[in-house]
Each structure stands twice: as structure tokens, then as C-alpha cells.
Chain A
Amino acid sequence: MLTRRDLLERCAAFGVLVGAPALDVRTIGAFWEQADARKPTPPNALGPFYKKRAPDARMLRTKADAGMPLAVNGRIVDTRGEAVRDATVEIWHADHGGHYDLAGYRFRAKLPLDAEARYQFDTVMPGHYPDRVCQHVHYLVTAPGHKPLITQLYFATDPVFEGDPDKNFTKDPLIQSRELVRPVRITGDPKEMYAAVAFELCMERR
């Protein structure tokens, strides 16, 4: 998807701005900003088990961990589609057995971002926490000049959805938005399967 900046740059490159004197730059910019605005990622409950000072990490999984290996990647953008490079992204989730580590930092991390505000981490598919319906990963994304984004990632493969998340995502009363239920790509052979999910997060300016 093109961003407002992408479009303006392309317009300038093709001379459209120069060749259209009836429209000033501000008008066109406002048009594209409106046309290309992204919706902020829907918020979702923080939950009671956030823990401060999670370590910088991308690899959360060890060989000893039970559960299907899971790789998650995405990008932190604002509502204009621009990378929020100074965002801080913290994630945490239950282990395969549905247990949150409160004493330590297992399956908790502050994720490094690259120059395009992309993140990725390797972990295991979270288990079902006993008092929740669905498997989930918590996100806390903060950045100067932006509203904190607190949300959760859900998985379309969750057995709770019975293969039809469009119809069944409300089986978990905490899921208010279908958008938070992401497709899961599963690869590998039956003995060693891997799950991969893409989850872009869009922040609102203050």
C-alpha cells in the first residue's frame, strides 16, 4: 500500500504537481492524506500481567520449549503510513501451557526495530490461558507524540474459531475487532511445523 509520502513523491517525480496549477501543494497533500489515511489498530485490553523492563530480544524460544514454533513480523506505522522509527514495542504472552511468567521474563520482550520500524520475533504459539477463550499475544507500543497502543494479536488457526474466524471471532468476548485475528501461514512437515504471522500496528498521533 502506498503512503501519502510515496504518492507525493511519485507525483513530483512525474511532474504532476508542476503541471496542475489549479491545485496547490497543500490541497493535493490534504487530498492524499485523507485518501490514504490508515485506521489505527484497534485497542485491546492490557490484561493484568504486564511486566516492566522486559529485555531486548527477538528470540524468545529455546529448544526445550513446548509448542509450535511461531515467527511474528510487522511494522509500526502512523495513520499516514509512515514508519514510527522511535516506537518502543513490548510483547508478552503465556507459554504453551497457558502460564505467564511473572517471576522472570520468559516470553516477554522489548523488540528491536529496524530503520523502517519493522520488528520480528521468534517464539512458540501461546497456550490457552485458563480464563481466556483464545490464544493471544499482548502488545504495548509507545512512541513520542503518539497515543500508547495497547492491543492483542490473535490467530486465525485458533481451534476456538472452528476454521471460520469471520463468523466466530466473537466467541472470545474480549475480541472486539476481526482485524486483530491474523492469518497464520504454517510450513514444514508434520513432525516439525512452523507458524508465521504478519501483524502491522498503526499508531495515532496525540
Chain B
Amino acid sequence: MTAHALSVVIALGVCTTAAAQTSVVTVKAPADIGGPLFAPKGDRVAASVGRDRISVWSVPDGRLIQTLEVPARPAAKLFAAGGDQLLVALRDGTIELRAVASGATVRRMKADAAQSTLATTDDGRLLASAADERITLWDASGKVTRTFAHEFGDVAALAFSPDGTVLASAGLDANVHLWDVATGQRKASVPDQLVATFALTFTVDGKSLLMAGAAGTIEVVDVATASVTRRLPAQKYAVFALSVSPDGKTLAAACFDVDGATRPAPVTIWDLGSGRLLRRLAPGTPEAIGFGPDGQLRYMLMKGPELTIGVTSPPANRRSGS
């Protein structure tokens, strides 16, 4: 029996509350899981398994789709081509584009250091990667087209605008920059940022950048002016991930406790139109979140070799009619 076949669904359930229905599935891999992430459509998850494998499961049923072999545990991973491909940043600086269905290497790029943060445009034409404070922009042929840099420290988050013309970057130097992809120039920096931003995502129309981090406040930034136009009420937790629903109306924020990231922390769900907090999920210590095309929010929990995937509806937003 192969290790591939050893990944099994060990629990599957549906719970219904007055607020929402949540389905939960737990898969067990043959070794400890790390760095789980959702595909853009929310229909797949990938995670490192042990040191030399990446497994991909389907959502919500937890069926194992593929296991890819890698030389060592990657520095970063990211789904591409709508979930059919996986970008894998290796420790030696190589970035491999792997086909999920076959496991084959489609393209191989070589950076001079392990790239710890990855982002792609929606159409897949551009890839941004970061190692330490340096950001590299790659075109679809794997050629480096631009490089950008933060002042110091690691780049914590990268996000392209939906049309691919603007790259937003957040560094542990507490700076958030907007880069013009065509000219390679820094368009602007978001002013008055004192602590680090860990999560960046654009609104569906690309006019606003949503950002949050150590301060716990979610800020809405006008991309044209780089000014903060709205601050959602601060929670006591820091935020490490943001996701916007496909209809652009709902925002989910995955939180962590600054006094210990392994402590339970909520996922907060917001109505973007009004800035109102709709719901607080308390799944435990979420590792990743992501809306699917169905408008349902997915979250992941990780414990040793077990990966738990929850799919839940955000009903309060629909009730509010916003």
C-alpha cells in the first residue's frame, strides 16, 4: 500500500445551528501536515505532508486527489490555473509549477534564495515571489521582469489587483506599498502604518485594498489615492488572513492571539458595505480561510497528521439583505 493511499477521511459531519450549517471533514495523512492552503475556487486544499510530499484533497468530501513528491518541505506553495496547478517554492530558490492531475513539472524558475511568499494574477500571467525584503516579478515564461524591495525584514503578504496592474506588498518593516506592475515604480505607500500587516486582498472591483495585521484593525484603502477610507472596529486579536466573498459583499478575517498564536482565535465575518460584524466563528485555531464560488466560507484546522476542513454559510449577510 502506498503512502498516497494511506490518507483517509476519518470523520465527516454536518452540524446545524440557528446561525448556519457547517459541514466538517477531517482527513488523516501518513505524516504531519504543514502549510495548508485553499485553491481559489475553494474546491481543493493542498498541504505539505512530512518533509517530502504535498497532498491535494477535494473539498468538501476530503477525497485525496494527488500526492506530489518534493525534495524537501517547501518554503511556500500556491495554487495556480484555478487549482489545476501548484506553485512550489523550494528551499534552494527553485520555484516549480506542477500539474496537480499528473504531478508533472510544467515550468521551473530559479531564484537566488528560497521564496517564502507567492502571489499570482487572476489570469496567471504574472507571478510575484518574495524572499527576505526582496520581491521578484515573473512573467508567464518564467522570466524576471521586475524587482521591488522593502526597507528591511521579510515580506509578509503579496496581492495583485484583479486586473493585474497593481501589486500590493506588506512587510514586517510595517510598510504597505502599492507597485505599478507596468512601470516597476512604487505608486504609493499606505500612510501611518505603525505595525506589520500580515494579510492583503483586493475587493472584487479592484478599487479598494483590504489589509489587516498585528493591530487587529481591518483597513479599507482606496487604491487610487492609497488613503485609508474605512477602519472596521478593532478586535482583540491580530489578523493573518482575509478573504472576500465572490459577490464582493462579505469579508472574512482569520485571527490569531498575539499572546500565543497556538491559542484559539476566531474567524470574524463582516458586511463590507456597512462595516458591520456579522458573525464570529470559533473553530479553534484556523490555519487558512477562503470563500468558494458558492459564497460559503471554508476554514482549515491542523493537528499533527490531521487536517480538518469546515464549510459554512455566512447567513447573517443574506438576512441583512446587504
Contact surface of A with B, Cβ cutoff 8 Å:
46-53, 98-100, 102, 129-131, 140, 142, 148, 150
Contacts and interface: CB of A to CB of B under 8 A. Distances in A.
B261 A131 contact: yes
A150 B153 contact: yes
A93 B238 CA distance: 18
Contacts, number: 54
Contacts of B238: 102
Nearest to B213: A48
Contacts of B259: 98-99, 130
A167 B258 CA distance: 31
B151 interface: yes
Most B CB contacts (10 A, CB to CB) among A48, A49, A53 go to A48
Contacts of B151: 148
B214 A130 contact: no
Given A46-B154, A102-B214, A53 B194 contact: yes
Given A47-B172, A130-B259, A52 B193 contact: yes
Chain B interface bracket (under 10, 10 to 19, 20 to 34, 35 or more): 20 to 34
Nearest to B174: A52
Q: Is the interface of A mostly helix, strand, loop or mixed?
A: loop
A46 B214 contact: no
A179 B118 CA distance: 33
12 contacts: A50-B153, A50-B173, A51-B174, A52-B193, A52-B194, A98-B259, A102-B214, A102-B258, A130-B261, A131-B262, A140-B152, A148-B151
Contacts of A140: 152
Contacts of B198: 48
Interface string B201-228: 0000000000000111000000000000
Contacts of A50: 153, 172-174, 195-196
Contacts of A98: 259
Contacts of A48: 156, 172, 196, 198, 214
A48 B198 CA distance: 9
A49 B262 CA distance: 16
Nearest to A94: B259
A44 to B, nearest CB: 12
A183 B153 CA distance: 27
Given A50-B196, A100-B258, 17 more contacts: A46-B152, A46-B153, A46-B154, A48-B198, A49-B196, A49-B214, A50-B153, A50-B172, A53-B194, A98-B259, A102-B215, A102-B238, A102-B258, A130-B260, A130-B262, A131-B260, A148-B151
B263 interface: yes
A130 B174 CA distance: 22
A75 B262 CA distance: 37
Contacts of A53: 194
Nearest to B261: A131
A192 to B, nearest CB: 28
Nearest to A47: B172
A51 B261 contact: no
Most B CB contacts (10 A, CB to CB) among A46, A53, A129, A142 go to A46
Nearest to B257: A130
A100 B238 CA distance: 12
A140 B153 CA distance: 10
The 7 closest A-B pairs by CB, nearest first: A130-B260, A46-B153, A148-B152, A52-B194, A46-B172, A51-B195, A52-B174
Contacts of A99: 258-259
